[in-house]
Amino acid sequence: MAVIVLALTISSCSPSGYLSRDEAGGPPITESLFSDKSSTISEENIQKILDGTYKMPQQLRVAILKLESSQRRYYWNSWGDEAYLRSQQAFLDSFTARFKQSPRIAKMMAIPDLLVSKSPQSLTSIRESAVRMQADIVVAYAINSDIYTKYRSFKSPNIKAYATTQLIIMDVRTGLVPFSTIVTRDFLAAKKKEELDVTEARNRVQTEAVLLTINEIGNQVNNYLKME
């Protein structure tokens, strides 16, 4: 009988019959105990960042940059590099217009490719490029998109595009990233009569899908700037 009582007492300590970490006690762990030689932030600074407060400047000089992505260029290349470059400029113009809707944006500047290292394209090199342009924040974005075509007998084919845009805002003074978002949208349309071929229609639909993601991100950023 005494053995049974002892067994029940031990098993009641926890569902598994073992003491939990909280029940076992011990000092609280407040910093990493793992050695990481590749870390670029010291343990002391990690604590300062996590325990500190951040406030973005009221008036913002913004540097914007398109990051390289794994976006497929097949359809744009099929139509020509001119169409691809025109689409990329349209995306940059759309981002710029959306940001300028906020009264906090004092200036918008595109970071030229000449200022950013391509291999590797790191946050450090982006930040240093923004410093040279005297920007308060960096807006960096990457776009991925793809096309699906469904052919129909005696009708114009349906073309559907999916686009995913990622965006971060980095504070140049601190290197912190107070805002980030990923938005995916799709756009479905048929080939127009005035379009020369399906490739031209694909380019249009693909561009529309990307612009939908940019519009949504613009709304999110403006709301963030109002509350921050």
Per-residue pLDDT of the chain (228 residues; tens, 9 = 90+): 554 544 445 455 555 555 555 566 788 887 777 877 777 888 888 889 999 999 999 999 999 999 876 554 444 444 457 778 888 899 999 999 999 999 999 999 999 888 887 766 788 889 999 999 999 999 999 999 888 766 555 566 688 899 999 999 999 999 999 999 999 999 987 777 776 677 777 888 899 999 999 999 999 999 999 987
Residue ranges covered by each domain of the chain: 60-227
Distance CA 172, CA 64 (A): 12
Do 190 and 159 touch, CB atoms closer than 8 A?
Answer: yes
Helix (H, G, I), strand (E, B) or coil at 40: coil
Residue 10's pLDDT is what?
A: 47
- Beta bridge partners of residue 63, listed in sequence order: 109, 138
Cα–Cα distance list, 82 to 87, 137, 145, 149 (Å): 9, 31, 18, 23
Distance CA 214, CA 181 (A): 11
Distance CA 45, CA 22 (A): 28
Cα–Cα distance list, 220 to 149, 162, 181, 189, 216 (Å): 31, 20, 8, 26, 6
Check residue 153 and report its DSSP letter: T
What is the reported pTM? Answer: 0.77
Pick the CATH number of 60-227 from 3.40.50.2000, 3.30.160.150, 3.40.47.40, 3.30.70.1520: 3.30.160.150
